[in-house]
Amino acid sequence: MFSPNKIRVILADRHEVFREGLQLILKKERDFEVIGSVDNTDDVINMAYESQADIFVIDIDLPTTDGLDCAKELRQHFPESKIVILTHNACDRCVRSAFESRVNG
C-alpha cells in the first residue's frame, strides 16, 4: 500500500543497475516512495495508469519508443505529474527536444 503523504516516483531506465541504485538513494529519503521501476516505455505508460505517480524519471533512450515520446504521452494524460528526463548525451538537440516535450527537467 502506498503512503498518501509521500511523493510517488516511477523510474524508467534501460539499465537495471542504474534503476536499482537510484531506487536505493530515494529509499533513504523519507519524502519519496518508488512505486515502480521499469525498463521500457510500454511499462511506464501502463504503470502510470495504475498508480498515478507524482514524478516520472525517464531515460531518453528507452526501448520500444524513446523517452521523449513517452514524456509527451505522459504529459497529455497526466498534466500534473512532473517528468524528468535522464540522458548521458548532453547535445543541444536532445535538451531542446526534451523541453519541447514539456518535461520539468
Residue spans per domain, the chain: 7-100
**Which tens digits make up the pLDDT trace of 34-50?**
999 999 999 999 999 99
Q: Compute the distance between CA of residue 55 and CA of residue 84 in angstroms, rounded to an integer.
A: 8
Q: Compute the distance between CA of residue 99 and CA of residue 37 in angstroms, rounded to an integer.
A: 23
Residue in the structure block whose three cell numbers are 503523504 = 5
| CATH class name, domain 7-100 | alpha beta
Residue 21 · residue 34 · CB < 8 Å: no
Q: Compute the distance between CA of residue 59 and CA of residue 51 in angstroms, rounded to an integer.
A: 19
Handedness of CA 13, 41, 62, 80 (dihedral sign): negative
Average the pLDDT over 10-30 and give the result.
Answer: 94
Q: At 2, is the pLDDT very low, low, confident or very high (cuts 50, 70, 90)?
A: low
**Which tens digits make up the pLDDT trace of 66-83?**
888 889 899 999 999 999
